[in-house]
Amino acid sequence: MSVGFDKHAEIEGCLAGIKGPYLIFDDNRVLNIRKHNGYHITVV
């Protein structure tokens, strides 16, 4: 399941891995970071 900042201002989860431009979370959600070029994000 793909997630994005256009629909959700905040995305929470445990980062399981990175493959190319994709951030993969432990619950099988994927964020295409290249699609969100120019966004300011904070990772805690």
Gap between the Cα atoms of 44 and 42, Å rounded: 6
In this prediction the pTM is: 0.80
Mean pLDDT for 11-34 is 94
CB-CB contact of 44 with 11 (8 Å): no
Whether residue 41 has pLDDT greater than 90: no
Whether residue 24 has pLDDT greater than 90: yes
Whether residue 8 has pLDDT greater than 90: no
Mean pLDDT for 22-34 is 94
> Would you list the DSSP string of 4-43?
-TTT-S-----EEEEETTEEEETTS-EEEGGGGTT-----
Residue-averaged pLDDT of the chain: 91
